[in-house]
C-alpha cells in the first residue's frame, strides 16, 4: 500500500476530504506530501505545510478531526522520531545552559511580532473568558483571578517565575499594592518589561529560576512549567520551597497533557519551544508531593482555543506591518497557533491552575472563581 493510500484512508476516517471546497479540506499541491507525512508523521505534516506543499482554509478544524480519531496511533513511528524520544529520555533538555538558549529561541524572535499578536499587556498565556468579551478583558480577568486565588494583600512580596513582558506583575502592583519581582532568561522580555513597568518599583531579573535567592510571600508561574522539563520538576518545586516564606502560597498556570510523557511533538521541539514538554497533572503532583499540598485545581482548557484564535486573527491581519518575517515563517506560525487550538478543542490538551501550600497545618482554603 502506497503512502498516499495510507493517508487517504486516515483522512476518510476523519471525515477530511481532499481537494474539495469544504474549509477543512486539504488542498495538495505536491504529491511528495504523502511520503513525507507517512515517514515523518507530525513533523512531516507541519514542514510540508510550511514549504507550501498543501493548504487548508481551516487548519484548526481539520486537525481537530484528525485528533478525534487518535491519528498518531494509526501511523508507525519513524526512526527519526524514535531517536528524538530516546534523546529526550537520556538528556536534560532544560539544563541551565539549554534553558536560556531555548527561551531565547522563542521569546527573542521579536517583540514587534508579539506586540502585533497579543493583547495590550502582552500576556502570552491562556486568557480567562468566563465573563470577558475581548482579548484585553479576558487577559485582565486572568490576572485578577490569579491575584484573588493568591489572596494578595498590600506589602506582600510576590515572585513571578517566567514573568514575560510583566503584565501580571503590573496588574498586581497597581491593584493589590504588592512588592513584585519577575525573572526570565529572555533578555528581550526583560528589557521591554522594565520599560513598560517604569515607575512601579517592580524588579525584573534576567536569570534562571535555579539561581534565584530570597524569600517571597507568594510565588506564581504563568506558562512557565511547560519549559521546566520532566527531569527538573522536583528541582523546580524544591526551589519554590526554598523561596517561599512561612505561610506562603503559590499558583502555577500551565498547559497540561492528558498523559505523562518525557517528549514533545517534534515540530514544536524544532521550531517553537525547544526542550519544552507539557507536564501531566500526575507529574506535577508527584514532583510536589513531599513539599506541597495541592489546594485547588481549575481546568479551563477550552478558553485556550478561543485565546489562540484571537492571537491568530490579530497576527493574520498584521503580517504586512512586519515584513521581516518571511512566508515560511508566517506559515510555521499559522500552523503553530491553529494546531494548538485544535489540541485544546479536541480535549488532548488542558489548561490548569494549581494552587499549592506547604504540607502541614493551615487554614481552610476556598479558591476564587
pLDDT of residue 150: 98
CB 279 within 8 Å of CB 233: yes
pLDDT of residue 84: 41
User: What phi-psi label fits residue 52: left (phi over 0), alpha (psi between -120 and 50 degrees) or beta?
Assistant: left
CA dihedral sign, ordered 138, 141, 142, 143:
positive
Confidence tier at 96 by pLDDT (50, 70, 90): low
Q: Per CATH, is 97-358 categorized as 1.10.3720.10?
A: no
**Residue 318 CB neighbour total at 10 angstroms:** 14
- Residue 222's Cβ-side half-sphere holds a number of Cα atoms within 13 Å equal to 26
Residue 288, CA distances (Å) to 243, 247, 356 in order? 14, 17, 9
- Helix, strand or coil, per DSSP, at residue 220: strand
The average pLDDT across 327-335 equals 98
Distance CA 218, CA 235 (A): 18
Phi, psi of 333 (to 5 degrees): -65, -40
CB 210 within 8 Å of CB 96: yes
Phi, psi of 298 (to 5 degrees): -120, 130
Q: Where are the domains of the chain?
A: 3-76, 97-358
Q: Is the pLDDT of residue 336 over 70?
A: yes
Confidence tier at 193 by pLDDT (50, 70, 90): very high
For the stretch 198-257, pLDDT in tens is: 999 999 999 999 999 999 999 999 999 999 999 999 999 999 999 999 999 999 999 999
DSSP string over 292-304: EEEEEEEE-THHH
Confidence tier at 109 by pLDDT (50, 70, 90): confident
**Residue 80 CB neighbour total at 10 angstroms:** 14
For the stretch 275-300, pLDDT in tens is: 899 999 999 999 999 999 999 999 99
Residue 245, CA distances (Å) to 145, 187, 204 in order? 22, 28, 20
What average pLDDT is seen over the chain? 93
242: which residues sit within 8 A by CB, 6+ positions away? none
Q: Is the pLDDT of residue 97 over 70?
A: no
pLDDT of residue 72: 74
Q: Is the pLDDT of residue 85 over 60?
A: no
- Burial class of residue 187, CB neighbours in 10 A (0-12, 13-18, 19+): middle
pLDDT of residue 348: 96
Q: Is the pLDDT of residue 180 over 60?
A: yes
For the stretch 128-179, pLDDT in tens is: 999 999 999 999 999 999 999 999 999 999 999 999 999 999 999 999 999 9
* Helices 59-68 and 3-14: angle between axes, nearest 10 degrees: 90
- Residue 126's Cβ-side half-sphere holds a number of Cα atoms within 13 Å equal to 31
Q: Is the pLDDT of residue 78 over 90?
A: no
Confidence tier at 86 by pLDDT (50, 70, 90): very low
280: which residues sit within 8 A by CB, 6+ positions away? 256, 257, 258, 259, 260, 261
* Residue % of the chain over a pLDDT of 70: 92
Amino acid at each position: 500500500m502506497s503512502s498516499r493510500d495510507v493517508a487517504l484512508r486516515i483522512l476518510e476516517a476523519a471525515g477530511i476530504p481532499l481537494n474539495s471546497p469544504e474549509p477543512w479540506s486539504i488542498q495538495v499541491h505536491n504529491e511528495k506530501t504523502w511520503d513525507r507525512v507517512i515517514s515523518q508523521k507530525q513533523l512531516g505534516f507541519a514542514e510540508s505545510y510550511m514549504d507550501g506543499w498543501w493548504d487548508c482554509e481551516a487548519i484548526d478544524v481539520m486537525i481537530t478531526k484528525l485528533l478525534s480519531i487518535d491519528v498518531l496511533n494509526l501511523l508507525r513511528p519513524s526512526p527519526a522520531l524514535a531517536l528524538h524520544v530516546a534523546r529526550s529520555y537520556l538528556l536534560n533538555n532544560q539544563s541551565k545552559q539549554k534553558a536560556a538558549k531555548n527561551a531565547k529561541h522563542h521569546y527573542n524572535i521579536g517583540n514587534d511580532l508579539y506586540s502585533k499578536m497579543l493583547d495590550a499587556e502582552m500576556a502570552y498565556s491562556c486568557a480567562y473568558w468566563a465573563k470577558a468579551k475581548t482579548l484585553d478583558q479576558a487577559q485582565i480577568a486572568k490576572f485578577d483571578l490569579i491575584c484573588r486565588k493568591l489572596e494578595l494583600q498590600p506589602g506582600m512580596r510576590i515572585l513571578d517565575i517566567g514573568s514575560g513582558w510583566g503584565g501580571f506583575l503590573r496588574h498586581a502592583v497597581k491593584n493589590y499594592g504588592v512588592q513584585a519581582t519577575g525573572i526570565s532568561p529572555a533578555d528581550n522580555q526583560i528589557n521591554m518589561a522594565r520599560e513598560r513597568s517604569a515607575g512601579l518599583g517592580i524588579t525584573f531579573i534576567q536569570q534562571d529560576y535555579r539561581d534565584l535567592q530570597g524569600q517571597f510571600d507568594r510565588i506564581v508561574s504563568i506558562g512557565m512549567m511547560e519549559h521546566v522539563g520532566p527531569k527538573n520538576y522536583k528541582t523546580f518545586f524544591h526551589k519554590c520551597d526554598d523561596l517561599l516564606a512561612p505561610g506562603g502560597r503559590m499558583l502555577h498556570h500551565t498547559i497540561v497533557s492528558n498523559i505523562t510523557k518525557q517528549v514533545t511533538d517534534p515540530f514544536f521541539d524544532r521550531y517553537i519551544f525547544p526542550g519544552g514538554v507539557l507536564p501531566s497533572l500526575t507529574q506535577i503532583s508527584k514532583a510536589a508531593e513531599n513539599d506541597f499540598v495541592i489546594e485547588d485545581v481549575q481546568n479551563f482548557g477550552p478558553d485556550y482555543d478561543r485565546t489562540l484564535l484571537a492571537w491568530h486573527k490579530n497576527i493574520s491581519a498584521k503580517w504586512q506591518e512586519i515584513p521581516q518575517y518571511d512566508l515560511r515563517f508566517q506559515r510555521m506560525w499559522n500552523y503553530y497557533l491553529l494546531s494548538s487550538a485544535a489540541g485544546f478543542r479536541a480535549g488532548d490538551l488542558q489548561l490548569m491552575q494549581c494552587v499549592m501550600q506547604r504540607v502541614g497545618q493551615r487554614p481552610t482554603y476556598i479558591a476564587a472563581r
